[in-house]
Amino acid sequence: MDYQLPDPLFFTTPSDYLARAAPSYEEFLKALTERPDYFPDYLEELAQANDLDYSEYEDVSAELLEVAAAVAPAMAEKIWDKEVLKQQTWPFETDNDRLDAAYAQLAPTIVGHHDEWCCNSCAWVDYETKAEKGMYPDAEGYVFYNEQSSEKAYDSHRGLLLYFNSIPSSEEGSKAVARKVFDALKDQGLKVEWSEDSETYIEVPMIWQRRLTPRS
Ligand SMILES: [Zn+2]
């Protein structure tokens, strides 16, 4: 499954990033090594342990970056293993697995994306541009959720909001796409709410449990 990774900037701790976004181990390690400033709490801890100054609102010092790079591999491994242990207690099929399965069922007629952009304004523009360029030649439409929505689904267990449109965009086309998305989600055993309106979203109440891909 091809995930667009949410920007790590949205997280305060590496554990949250791992649990919500399920990046690959390499991507996780890279974020901890190169952009420790994405995780203010983590950086604060490192600074305290090493008697270095750190304020969330200032540039990260070269010393602190060096410290972060030095501890990143051990830290990444520890947080990763802890999350893997937790995931072993999960049900055989999680709601995120069901969502993935629904996307697979819809492909290639309807293109499904995860964590597509920070907000809908950015996502719509991107889809319009890609559709105009002919990047989805076989698709009759697309479905996605943005990073704000997955953040809420993860943090506060609110319903994941899925947005959709047809290619080319039309009211009837959009409704037809939404109906197919609705059916696929139901087929996979998810609860789905939609008002049959082409202008609104499909809401999927779910428990956020996204699996990590094993690290090599
Ligand atoms: Zn945006």
The DSSP string of 53-76 is ---TTSPPPHHHHHHHHHHHHHHH
Q: How far is the CA of 118 from the centre of ligand 1 (A)?
A: 4
Q: Which of 34, 66, 87 is the last residue of a domain?
A: 87
Same domain? For 72 and 125 the reply is no
**Looking at residue 55, what is its pLDDT?**
83
**Looking at residue 60, what is its pLDDT?**
84
| For residue 168, cis peptide bond before it (omega within 30 degrees of 0) | yes
**Mean pLDDT estimate for the chain:** 91
Q: How far is the CA of 144 from the centre of ligand 1 (A)?
A: 14
Q: Is the pLDDT of residue 25 over 60?
A: yes
The total of structural domains in the chain comes to 2
Q: Which structural domain range is residue 163 located in?
A: 95-204
Same domain? For 106 and 145 the reply is yes
Tell me the β-bridge partners of 162.
202
**Looking at residue 3, what is its pLDDT?**
52
Q: How far is the CA of 69 from the centre of ligand 1 (A)?
A: 30
Q: Which of 87, 105, 120 is the last residue of a domain?
A: 87
Same domain? For 61 and 100 the reply is no
List, for residues 180-203, the tens digit of each pLDDT value.
Answer: 999 999 999 999 999 999 889 999
Cβ-based burial of 13 (10 A; exposed 0-12, middle 13-18, buried ≥19):
middle
